[in-house]
Amino acid sequence: MNSKFKISDIDWLMIITLTCILTIGNIYLYSASIKSFHNQIKWIMIGTVVMLSIIKVGYGKFLIIAYPIYLGVVSLLVAVLFLRPHRGAHSWIDLPGFSIQPSELAKVAIILALSRCLMNKRDQFTLKGLVLPIVITMFPVALILKQPDLGTAMVIIPVMLVILFVSGARKTHLLSNILIGLVSAIPMWMFILKQYQKNRILAFISPDKFAAREAYQLIMSIITIGSGGIFGAGWRNGVSNKLGLLPDRHTDFIFVVIAEEGGFIVAGVLLLLFLLFVICGLNTAASTKEPGGRIIATGATALIGIQVIINIGVVEAILPTTGITLPLISYGGSSMLSTFILIGLILSVGNTKTTVFHKETFLGKND
């Protein structure tokens, strides 16, 4: 299999866009939390090394071991349920010197497993052929909901639909599954969602009734973003940021700090950079002949883009409050690492456009 590393084939526009996003993010993360900024730099360095390693190795090697990676991550999702909870959620595995969040790794594992499952098949054209991809996705999603982590589940499910669509699934079949998902929301509300998650949704619908608790963060977010105006209050001059009036301002709500201190201009530039990043990723997918690589590039790009949409939608009160990071911006080692892995896979796909994988590749008959 041909997966030689070529500097000339690297998508430098994506690299430049990535650098600009990270620069803006770190400037305002420093304003929100100096300690988090220093830790974030460490994770960016680790993520960069991992990203370059993935490009060097080639995405094809990860396709070959996609199922073992998937099973390993699912094992971690099961194991974390038996560990000590953090802030009421079984989401973290503590290791010497740092913690890891398996649900972040699950995003990567699901995309790889779906790519391996769908790359050389055509039965996804039938309703029966969608069963295995849906099971591959929904089993870890069920474990993630058990933690509970509704935000990550909200990202993974639409990514699955995007991957199935680009793999050739019929629109009518996808619509049928969407309808089933909507109907399943009723028992999910009754038996799966925790009370605080229900309150967040109710607070989104009627914020006045929950202003003192569940809707406080939502209301403060809207006020803070509006106070930034066109030009912002200036770096490290945001009142809500300086006084600590907004919870999670260095993690899930970091965009609010950017809007308050950088105003509409900086926030708008950041959103345009994310849009350019998504365009680069989709262009890589569109120009890739190999189906496994095309699915990986599409899925990874869609995941990052959808996560940006959900995070911005939450902080601007377009969506109910849920814990979801802004990729490459919010503080979080696991989130940063998983995003760099996804970017490494996208760049690797673009770097090996001529690679074509056959069945023998996965049977160990072709080197």
Q: Can you tell me whether residue 223 is helix, strand or coil?
A: helix
Do the Cβ atoms of 33 and 329 come closer than 8 Å?
A: no
Mean pLDDT on 124-141: 84
Computed over every residue of the chain, the mean pLDDT equals 86
Least confident of 7-21, 120-134, 165-179, 252-266: 120-134
Question: Which residues, 6+ apart, have CB-to-CB distance to 126 below 8 Å?
Answer: 173
- At 189 the pLDDT is 67
Least confident of 51-55, 289-293, 339-343, 352-356: 352-356
- At 178 the pLDDT is 79
Distance CA(130)–CA(122), nearest Å, equals 10
> What are the boundaries of each domain within the chain?
7-199+209-362
Q: Can you tell me whether residue 94 is helix, strand or coil?
A: strand
Mean pLDDT on 296-310: 96
HSE-CB at 233 with a 13 A cutoff on CA atoms is 20
Distance CA(254)–CA(251), nearest Å, equals 6
Residue 2 predicted with pLDDT over 60: no
365 vs 149, which has greater pLDDT? 149
- Residue 135 — pLDDT band, cuts 50, 70, 90? very high
Residue 366 Rama label (left phi>0; alpha psi -120 to 50; beta): beta
Distance CA(279)–CA(276), nearest Å, equals 5
First and final CA of the chain: distance in angstroms? Answer: 6
**Percent of the chain clearing pLDDT 70 (strictly above):** 84
- At 366 the pLDDT is 45
- At 246 the pLDDT is 82
Distance CA(105)–CA(37), nearest Å, equals 22
Mean pLDDT on 83-91: 76
Do the Cβ atoms of 125 and 170 come closer than 8 Å?
A: yes
Question: Which residues, 6+ apart, have CB-to-CB distance to 7 below 8 Å?
Answer: none
244 vs 65, which has greater pLDDT? 65
**pLDDT tens-digit series, residues 311-330:** 999 888 788 777 789 999 99
Question: Which residues, 6+ apart, have CB-to-CB distance to 105 below 8 Å?
Answer: 73, 76, 334, 338
Residue 268 predicted with pLDDT over 70: yes
**Percent of the chain clearing pLDDT 90 (strictly above):** 55
- At 37 the pLDDT is 95
Least confident of 160-174, 212-226, 236-250: 212-226
Least confident of 8-22, 65-79, 213-227, 346-360: 346-360
- At 359 the pLDDT is 55
- Residue 221 — pLDDT band, cuts 50, 70, 90? confident
- At 367 the pLDDT is 40
